Amino acid sequence: GQNIDQPTEMTATEGAIVQINCTYQTSGFNGLFWYQQHAGEAPTFLSYNVLDGLEEKGRFSSFLSRSKGYSYLLLKELQMKDSASYLCAVREGQGANNLFFGTGTRLTVIP
C-alpha cells in the first residue's frame, strides 16, 4: 500500500517563497506528480519527478528524494492566484492505474 502525507494548510505572503512537503511510503515507487487545484475546479498538472533531484519550471520547482520518500513543491514570487490546493500523487509499481493521491495542501496567499 501507500501512505502519503502533506500538511493540510499553509499561509504565505505575496511575493514570498513557499515550500510544500510531501512524504510517502510505498512499495515499488515509480514517480511522483504535483497537481494544482483551485477551489471547486479540476486538478491541473504541475510537475512530475521520477529521478532524484530538482525539476524547475518557471516559478514552480519540484524536488524528489527517493531514498527518503520525500518530495517538495517550491513556489517562488508568490501571487494571489497561487492560492489553491496542491495535491501530491504517487505512482506505485509498473502496472497501470496505480496512482494514489494525498489529501492536498491548501495554500492561502495573503497580501
Partner 1 sequence: EAQVTQNPRYLITVTGKKLTVTCSQNMNHEYMSWYRQDPGLGLRQIYYSMNVEVTDKGDVPEGYKVSRKEKRNFPLILESPSPNQTSLYFCASSPTGFNEKLFFGSGTQLSVL
7 lies in the site for partner 1, by CB under 8 A = no
* 79 neighbors 66 (Cβ within 8 angstroms): no
Q: Which is nearer to partner 1, 70 or 92 (CB)?
A: 92
Radius of gyration of the chain (CA): 14
Total residues binding partner 1 (CB under 8 A): 21
Nearer to partner 1, 35 or 78 (CB): 35
Q: Does 53 bind partner 1 (CB under 8 A)?
A: no
CB closer to partner 1 out of 38 and 59: 38
Within its chain, how far is the Cα of 109 from the centroid?
17
Question: What distance lies between CA 1 and its chain's CA centroid?
Answer: 19
Stretch that binds partner 1, among 20-28, 36-44, 62-70, 76-84 (CB under 8 A): 36-44
* Site membership for partner 1, residue 10 (CB under 8 A): no
Q: How far apart are CA 21 and CA 27, in angstroms?
A: 20
User: How far is Cα 37 from Cα 30, in angstroms, rounded to an integer?
Assistant: 23
Grid cell for residue 78: 508568490
Interface residues with partner 1 (CB under 8 A) are 30-31, 33, 40-45, 48, 50, 87, 91, 95-97, 99, 101-104
